[in-house]
Amino acid sequence: MKPFTYERVTDPQAAGAAVSRAGARFISGGTNLLDLMKLEIEQPTHLVDISRLPLKQVEDLPDGGIRIGAQAANSEVAADHRVRGRYPALAEALLAGASSQLRNKASIGGNLLQRTRCPYFYDTAAACNKRTPGTGCAALRGFNRIHAILGASDACIATHPSDMAVVMSALEAQIELLAPDQSTRRVAIDDFYCRPGSTPHIETVLQPGEMITAVVLPPPPPGRQRYRKVRDRASYEFALISVAVIIATDRETITTARVAFGCVAHKPWRSIDTEAALKGRPATLTTYQAAAEAAMRSAVGRGHNDFKIELAKRTLCRTLADTVQLESGRPS
Amino acid sequence: MDTSTKPTAVAVSRIALTVNGQSRQLELDPRTSLLDALREHLHLTGTKKGCDHGQCGACTVLINGRRINSCLTLAVMHDDDDIVTIEGLSAPEALHPLQAAFIERDAFQCGYCTPGQICSAVGMLAEAKAGWPSHVTPDVGSGQIVLSDAEIRERMSGNICRCAAYPNIVAAIRDVAGGASR
């Protein structure tokens, strides 16, 4: 690991100034950043510890939504009774990620900003436009079994690995940001993440020195929520495909639907096309299959990951069927 | 905490770690992981280094009662925190119930992962007692947690045992949790 200096800030308004020096980075839980620093993929020369900032609360909002502090631990948010009661898919997604030890350390803000697990990003001897812009993408013709099927480019086919962010996309979360000049802004999660294009090293719209202070969830949409994760082993593994579904029915007709996929793209993949193919239609397998076709209409396989297109369709159909059954059996 | 930024190759941070109830003063390179501070500086070698990347759980310790991977955090981030390692769970003549259960159930072979397994199980039982759900909890909205074997396995999935003593590890934890096999 390269040498660095360390400081801790205790006031959110001091964070931006502290991180403005060259080579400085925020550190919170550190579960991803320190791993990458050990491998010298990340090489900050100064770390600004924001983990003790008073941004750990889950608060009720007047509109029925909640505001989750960026420094709250993943495990604490998964255990929060408001999250479990009103946003159960968010709890399910958090609990499907990593291990208990990591969830106790990893922050909500850090989860949003975690880097891809593309093996070529981790292999410093391999070409990677995300790690070293301009060097190419070894995954394009390499072992790309886990890679993106939607929204990728010839510069990068890496996926965003978060489970949590997939459900936040379906919930239309807003990311609250604090800039070094003390101005604040909120960005919709779908606008927060970038597609790779020709600049896959730019992953979010965060500006220099900007810090995530909270995630704001609007009131939950009507219907039942579900997060399903498909992976190579039953626990402690990143997804091959995941899907978040929020669906409401009335007399076996779908009245509203939200759908987002995980590990299919450079960002959590909200699928408006899928939602349009569900709304107003009968809650039947035929509808689900048509929605799955709509979801994957622009999907592109790269060889080893071709199976993910069919897997995504089947995962969506199964999750929709399960969620509708729960919804009609026990109205929320 | 004082952080030196003098123009030497490596800055040194002075910190105080509270480990197993004792305050310990240390001067550390900020790069020092909590795991290396415990093992190399405080000579508490019960906590083990396996992968050093947060994947195996051998380095699990308790910070303010919560289990974490000590390899994936910096020692300088933990001054004033209450750190408990395997050495702090018991005295040799009065084993922690989980230590006794691991012996009774023969829940290890080489023993390298065992301190991490036991510290993790201590944290896990506290999480279950607090009503925290897991990935296999049928309804995350329910506050009642029944520590079935499936729940124990899921909740302990961050601790790898290369000797594969898993059935006996589950049995030992089940004994302490007070559940019957299911």
B131 with A96: Cβ contact below 8 A: no
pLDDT recorded at residue B11: 79
Pairing outcome for strands A58-60 and B22-28:
unpaired
Question: For residue B8, what pLDDT band results from cuts at 50, 70 and 90?
Answer: very low
Distance from CA of A4 to the nearest CA of B (A): 7
Distance from CA of B124 to the nearest CA of A (A): 8
Query: Average pLDDT of A106-116?
Result: 98
DSSP string across B77-146: GGTT-EEE-GGGS-BTTB--HHHHHHHHTT--SS-TTHHHHHHHHHHHHHHHHTT---TT-S-TT-----
**3-state SS string over A57-126?**
CEEECCCCCEEEECCCEHHHHHHCHHHHHHCHHHHHHHHHCCCHHHHHHCEHHHHHHCCCCCHHHHCCCC
pLDDT recorded at residue A175: 98
Distance from CA of B35 to the nearest CA of A (A): 13
A48 vs A328, which has greater pLDDT? A48
| Partners of residue A216 on adjacent β-strands | A67, A174
pLDDT recorded at residue B93: 85
Over 50: is that where the pLDDT of B9 sits? yes
List the single residue in A with minimal CA-CA distance to B14. A6
Q: Which chain B residues are closer than 8 Å to A6 by Cβ? A: 3, 11, 13, 30, 74, 76
Is any Cβ of chain A less than 8 angstroms from the Cβ of B138?
Answer: no
Q: Which chain B residues are closer than 8 Å to A3 by Cβ? A: 9-11, 29-31
A31 with B67: Cβ contact below 8 A: no
Considering only CB atoms, which residues of chain A are within 8 Å of chain B?
A: 1, 3-8, 27, 29-31, 34-35, 38, 47, 49, 51, 73, 75, 78-79, 81, 84-85, 88, 91-92, 95-96, 98-102, 104-105, 234-236
Over 70: is that where the pLDDT of B1 sits? no
Q: How many percent of chain B have pLDDT more than 70?
A: 93
Q: Which chain B residues are closer than 8 Å to A4 by Cβ? A: 30-31
Of A103-117, A136-150, A257-271, B4-18, the least confident = B4-18
pLDDT recorded at residue B181: 57
Over 50: is that where the pLDDT of A100 sits? yes
pLDDT recorded at residue A295: 98
Is any Cβ of chain A less than 8 angstroms from the Cβ of B117?
Answer: no
Out of A4, A95, A101, closest to residue B30 by CB: A4
Q: What is the C-alpha separation between A75 and A84, in angstroms, rounded? A: 12
Cα–Cα nearest to A76, from B9, B97, B130, B35: B130
Q: What is the C-alpha separation between A243 and B175, in angstroms, rounded? A: 37
Which pair of tokens denotes residue A263?
């590990």
Amino acid at B131: G
A88 with B127: Cβ contact below 8 A: no
Query: Average pLDDT of B49-58?
Result: 98
Q: What is the pLDDT of residues A116-132, one digit of tens each?
A: 999 999 999 999 999 99
Q: What count of other Cβ atoms lies within 10 Å of the Cβ of residue A218?
A: 14
pLDDT recorded at residue A32: 98
List the single residue in A with minimal CA-CA distance to B133. A79
Query: Average pLDDT of B38-52?
Result: 98
A27 with B5: Cβ contact below 8 A: no
Mean pLDDT score of chain B: 93
Is any Cβ of chain A less than 8 angstroms from the Cβ of B141?
Answer: yes
Q: How many percent of chain B have pLDDT more than 90?
A: 86
B35 vs B9, which has greater pLDDT? B35
Query: Average pLDDT of B107-118?
Result: 98
Out of A29, A38, A102, closest to residue B158 by CB: A102
Query: Average pLDDT of B118-131?
Result: 97
Question: For residue B6, what pLDDT band results from cuts at 50, 70 and 90?
Answer: very low
- In this prediction the ipTM stands at 0.96
Q: Which helix (H) or strand (E) holds A177?
A: strand A174-178
Q: How many percent of chain A have pLDDT more than 70?
A: 99
Query: Average pLDDT of A97-110?
Result: 98
Is any Cβ of chain A less than 8 angstroms from the Cβ of B174?
Answer: no
pLDDT recorded at residue B180: 56
B141 with A84: Cβ contact below 8 A: yes
Query: Average pLDDT of A132-148?
Result: 98
Query: Average pLDDT of A152-181?
Result: 98
Length of chain A: 332
pLDDT recorded at residue B7: 46
Q: What is the pLDDT of residues A240-281, one digit of tens each?
A: 999 999 999 999 999 999 999 999 999 999 999 999 999 999
Out of A5, A30, A91, closest to residue B133 by CB: A91
Whole-model pTM over 0.90 = yes
Over 70: is that where the pLDDT of B31 sits? yes
B69 with A105: Cβ contact below 8 A: yes
Which pair of tokens denotes residue A90?
């968010």
pLDDT recorded at residue B92: 77
Q: Which chain A residues are closer than 8 Å to B67 by Cβ? A: 100-101, 104
pLDDT recorded at residue A332: 42
Sign of the torsion formed by the C-alpha atoms of B38, B40, B46 and B50 = positive
Q: Which chain A residues are closer than 8 Å to B156 by Cβ? A: 100
Q: Chain A neighbours among B 78-107 (CB < 8 Å)?
A: none
Cβ pairs A/B, distance under 8 A: 119
List the single residue in A with minimal CA-CA distance to B124. A100
Q: What is the C-alpha separation between A279 and A144, in angstroms, rounded? A: 34
Over 90: is that where the pLDDT of B42 sits? yes
Question: For residue B2, what pLDDT band results from cuts at 50, 70 and 90?
Answer: low
Residues B71 and B56 sit within 8 Å (Cβ to Cβ):
no
Q: Give the contacts of A238 (CB within 8 A, at least 6 positions apart).
A: A117, A146, A161, A231, A263
- The residue with tokens 């998964």 is A78
Residues A95 and A51 sit within 8 Å (Cβ to Cβ):
no
DSSP 3-state of B68: strand
Our CA dihedral for A186, A169, A150, A110, rounded to 10 degrees, sits at: 70
Q: What is the pLDDT of residues B59-70, one digit of tens each?
A: 999 999 999 999
